[in-house]
Amino acid sequence: MFKKVSVFIIVSFALLLSACGSSGSSSEENASNYPENQIEVIVPFSSGGASDLVSRTVASEMENDLDVPLTITNQTGGSGATGMLSLKNAQADGYTIGYVPVEMSMLDSLELADITPSDYEFIGQLMTIPSAITVPADAPYDTIEEFVSYAEENPGEIQIGNSGTGSIWHIAAAAFAEEAGIDVEYVPYDGASPAVTALMGGHISAVSVSPSEVRGGVESGDLKVLGVMGEERDPELPDVPTMQEAGYDVSVAGWGGFVAPEGTPEEVLEPLRSSFKNAAESEEFQQLMDDRGMIPAYKNGKEFSSYAEEQYDYFSELIPTIEINQ
């Protein structure tokens, strides 16, 4: 009886080890054959904005190398937190990746979501875009100095639209208002595109989104840009001064790139990073950068990870020093 039990235990243990080994081999085999199915790309902002356009262009180019469809899913809300949380919690198998903006390095400091750079594996960075203050063409101010004077004389009257509470454009507006010493109201939207639409419709006084996102309104003569928050003037708006040139020591820019959930295997990340690099260097993507007035700023996965951590530290220090009311 004892021998039978012993043999049963040994056989059972051997079968268990065999099953575990088979499972591991199967997992490794799946990773080595990646990709076999379509890949979902989560974009945490609405369609039509800079993040969406960039993501669609890059995803389309990545399809050429990966030979599977990359489908865009717009998951809006919470200054990008909704989409980024969905991506964070997705299965780490490479079939769900996503676009992350600078807000990824800010939401934790804003206490809006439990999201930090350590929640992701980094594929690569694409571009950078500065904030700018844009107003209707018929607004009673033609310079950023006149805008500030108007705000000083009419405290609380100026309404500045942004891409969501705690978004980079919200922080940019708040940082500028703090530096200029003016009292304004911040109006959040689910992305830059709806904010610009509201400005065009006369529902708000200004937006603090990027020059590329107001380009259509500027070219049509409906909008004018008063100041740019970049280190240098925007090449598409050479006559518009930077805030620093106007005497306001503030510089805030957005950036974006692709990531995968933490724990995604290296065997899966390798083809993603390779196809991403080719997409970022493609003629189609470079043309989009030129057409939309964005600044290409490719970084590989390792460089992007380090930069996101640096930005996380930067905003952890900046955000507590500015007043962010609604």
* Mean pLDDT across 153-163: 96
Whether pLDDT at 4 is above 80: no
Alpha-carbon span 101 to 80, nearest angstrom: 8
The predicted model gives 2-24 an average pLDDT of 45
Has residue 321 got a pLDDT over 50? yes
Q: Where are the domains of the chain?
A: 37-128+254-321, 132-228
What is the per-residue pLDDT for 44?
Answer: 94
Q: What is the pLDDT of residue 325?
A: 61
Mean pLDDT for all residues in the chain: 89
Cis peptide before 35 (omega within 30 of 0): yes
Residue 107 pLDDT greater than 70, yes or no: yes
Confidence of residue 66 (pLDDT cuts 50, 70, 90): very high
Judge contact between 80 and 104, C-beta under 8 A: yes
CB 293 within 8 A of CB 215: yes
Q: What does the pLDDT read at residue 91?
A: 98
Arithmetic mean of pLDDT, 168-185: 94
Q: Is the pLDDT of residue 10 over 50?
A: no
- pLDDT reading at 19 higher than 80: no
C-alpha to C-alpha distances, 248 to 134, 162, 240, 243, nearest whole angstrom: 16, 20, 14, 5
- The pLDDT, as a whole number, for residue 2 is 41
Query: Do the domains spanning 37-128+254-321 and 132-228 agree at the CATH topology level?
Result: yes
pLDDT of residue 238: 92
- Look at 75-79, 87-91, 106-110 and tell me which has the smallest mean pLDDT: 75-79
Instruction: Please give the pLDDT value at position 155.
Output: 96
Which of 13-17, 24-28, 41-45, 293-297 has the highest average model confidence (pLDDT)? 41-45
Q: What whole-number distance in Å separates Cα of residue 13 and Cα of residue 10?
A: 5
> Please, which pLDDT band fits residue 45 given cuts at 50, 70 and 90?
confident
136: which residues sit within 8 A by CB, 6+ positions away?
Answer: 199, 200, 202, 222, 223, 224
CA distance 227 to 241: 5
Q: Nearest CA to 312 among 177, 110, 80? A: 110
What is the pLDDT, as a whole number, of residue 14?
45
Average the pLDDT over 245-251 and give the result: 94
- Token pair in block for residue 171: 């922080």
Amino acid 79: pLDDT: 77
* CATH 3.20.20.140 assigned to 132-228: no
User: Is residue 137 pLDDT above 60, yes or no?
Assistant: yes
pLDDT, position 231: 84
Work out the pLDDT band at 6, boundaries 50, 70, 90. Answer: very low
Q: How far is CA 137 from CA 24, 141, 177, 205, 313, in A?
A: 63, 9, 21, 11, 38
What pLDDT, on the 0 to 100 scale, is given for residue 236?
83
- Domain 37-128+254-321: CATH architecture, name and number where available: 3-Layer(aba) Sandwich (3.40)
Does residue 14 or residue 203 have the better pLDDT? 203
Q: Report the alpha-carbon distance of residue 258 to residue 46 in Å, rounded.
A: 17
